[in-house]
Amino acid sequence: MSSSMIAVEQGRETGSKTVPGPILLLGAPGSGKGTQSDQLVKLWNIPHISTGELLRANMAQGTALGKIAQQSVNRGELVHDSLVNEMVAARLRQPDTVNGYILDGFPRTLGQATWLDGRLASDGQSLPVIAVNIQVDYNQLLRRITGRRNCPVCATIYNVFMNPPKREGFCDIEGAALVQRADDTEKVFKERMRVYEGLTAPVIEHYRALGRFAEVDGDRPIGVIAAGIVAAVERLRNQA
């Protein structure tokens, strides 16, 4: 059994010892947050709640909140925090969240974090939010993002630095010329990092001050990272 598989199994065992409760998973663009969310959903059997997906689902279903959000989108405006908050509140009332959930993209600001803490307290939730940040070196993130290439035929993803195709610029499977997404450039990445750090720093400090924050090394195998997150959550829950 590989080290990654062993680590996942260890994480599964660790995760079974405690109810995870609400988990805010933080990570810069390219940190592997989505991959880790998938791992934790399997380990804990809890839902992954993405505000982006919530927003799209509400608009597609034509809910009252979705119609208001659609108007903002049509005007080219950001959806207001209060509207996002209400969508999250409605999702957290669903029964699959009873043992916890992975929050992705929310709370994104200090205002959202304080709202969420207050909402959970007013709803009588016994377990508060724990925040875990997947830490990856800036240069490594840059390589992950700017090195990414996609096959337009089979959707296979390569990285010219870490997982290059056998023939430079062409898919190993289809032979098609690989393409780079428009937002996978260094210029776009730097702007995304600037926005992310500006919004997230206060959120991190908020949960750090409350003793509900941990960091894990995101430059390790997937299973090892997952096991580290599970161990951090268990440690913080036991301290509470």
Among 148, 149, 212, 237, the one annotated catalytic: 148
| Candidates 67, 181, 190, 194; catalytic one | 181
| Residue 75 annotated as catalytic | no
Q: Give me the residues paired with residue 103 across strands.
A: 24, 49
Nearest to 113 by CA among 70, 81, 145: 81
Which of the following is catalytic: 108, 149, 212, 237?
A: 108
Out of 33, 91, 212, 237, which one is annotated catalytic? 33
Catalytic, 149? Answer: no
| Identity of the residue numbered 102 | I
Beta bridge partner(s), residue 102: 23, 48
d(CA 54, CA 52): 5
93 is catalytic: no
Of residues 119, 143, 192, 220, which has the active-site annotation? 192
148 catalytic per annotation: yes
Does residue 144 have an active-site annotation?
Answer: no
Q: Annotated active-site positions, please?
A: 33, 108, 148, 181, 192
